[in-house]
Amino acid sequence: MTSSHPGHPRAVVWGTYDLGKPRTRILIRGLREAGVPLTECHAEIWAGVEDKASLKSASQILRRLAKMLVAYPWLIWRYLRLPRHDVVIVGYMGHLDVLLLWPWARLRGNPVIWDAFLSLYETVVEDRAMLSPRHPLARLLWFWDWLACRAADRVLLDTAAHARWFESCFGLRSGRTASVFVGVEPEAFPPLALPSPKRPETPRRILFYGQFIALHGIDSIIDAAARSDPREFAWTLIGTGQEAARIRARLAARPIPHLEWIEWVPYGELRERIAQADICLGIFGQSGKAARVIPNKAFQIVAAGRPLVSRDSPAMREWIGKGQAGIRLVASGDPEALLAGIRDLVASGETALDPSAFQRLRTPIAPAAIGSRLLALMRGLTDAASRGAGMEISRS
């Protein structure tokens, strides 16, 4: 582990942040690799919950609320007893955390960085269509997002496109948001060896893994599989989620013999599944959110060195740029475009690229790069706070 640097701002990571998500683990690791003196003040309430939207029964919700009732008084008491520090970081999922922390951080004079990562309103109402925009709960979610943004000095998102949307949707001034890629855990997805040569008659193996939600565009993948020749491609889907029951009914009505569906594999086995694939898939949803985010799987697949086909979007262009061998960005919601992207990778020979071909894209998503970017954001906040304190002294 990298030792802390005495000249860096001292940070506290506070709240009920979800350590089951790579996003939070990578941010914390990145800060430590950047040499930031870091203290964690954490209560675990999300263990075992992969998808927060899956909490539907009264008993499930009550269990989480009970954990929160116990956790928050303890977290606040512990925070007030911590040694002096310069910045407080509230991790995902911290929509309630940041509101409860706000008065105590102000009391101690510490700026707050909130890793919003997503909007409750956008996710529930616009992306997953679980509520109508006119529903009272939808309006409450929008107000919750709006208020949480104002409890933080900086609101952190995963891409610049997502940050701009937050500014526009919630009326934030330019510069109130910042972006840091989700990144990848390199030891979980180290570069794979070159794939073995394939006989021309061997079907290419196509892999998708992830939650079955609208953002991922599962229907586009299934449509592409249905239109492909079994002698050409063998498809594997790994995942479950909000749309699983509908997808199951669809496949039961019209089976696709060369498509396999596996509901779940452990996180530690994903790299092995990627290794078995010739081409991996990203997301193909048509929502605004799908255009503003880069999914975890895209970072993981590229880190492992396998070819990727995903929807084109402003967010992906922030990372990929104009183009990259071994990657095809295609129109969203278009199974023919998806198939064309896969076939183009096969025809070009880019399914057998040396994994080092992706090194340009690995560098900005490594924990060290994530930590350095977040450190720069912290320095900007602490420098501004110091200038403000100096101005107050000069007036006195």
Q: Which residues contact 69 (CB under 8 A, 6 or more apart)?
A: none
Q: Is 219 exposed, middle or buried (0-12, 13-18, 19+ CB in 10 A)?
A: middle
- Calpha distance 311→296 (Å, rounded): 14
Q: Are 234 and 206 in contact (CB under 8 A)?
A: yes
Mean pLDDT of 346-367: 92
How many other CB atoms are there within 10 angstroms of residue 343's CB atom?
Answer: 17
DSSP symbol at 342: H
Q: Beta partners for 38?
A: 11
Give the integer Cα–Cα distance in Å for 162 and 156: 10
pLDDT tens figures, 302-315: 999 999 999 999 99
In the predicted structure, residue 56 carries a pLDDT above the cut 80? no
For residue 395, pLDDT over 80 is answered with: no
Task: Measure the CA dihedral 93/96/101/103, to 10°.
Answer: 150
Whether residue 156 contacts residue 113, with contact meaning beta carbons closer than 8 Å, is answered with yes
Structure token digits, residue 133: 């925009």
Q: What is the pLDDT of residues 88-122, one digit of tens each?
A: 999 999 999 999 999 999 999 999 999 999 999 99
The one-letter code for the residue type at 128 is R
Say whether 204-362 and 11-183+367-395 share the same fold. yes
Tell me the pLDDT band of 58, cut-offs 50, 70 and 90.
low
| CATH number for domain 204-362, candidates 3.40.50.2000, 1.20.140.10, 3.40.50.300, 3.40.50.800 | 3.40.50.2000
Percentage with pLDDT > 70 across the chain: 92
* 160-170 helix and 136-150 helix, angle to the nearest 10 degrees: 110
Residues with Cβ within 8 Å of residue 361, at least 6 apart in sequence? 302, 319, 320, 324
261: left (phi over 0), alpha (psi -120 to 50) or beta: beta
Annotated domain spans of the chain: 11-183+367-395, 204-362
Residue-level pLDDT at 266: 94
Kindly state the tokens that stand for 178. 């910042």
Q: Could you tell me which CATH number the domain at 11-183+367-395 has?
A: 3.40.50.2000
What pTM value is reported for the model? 0.90
How many angstroms separate the CA atoms of 43 and 57, rounded? 23
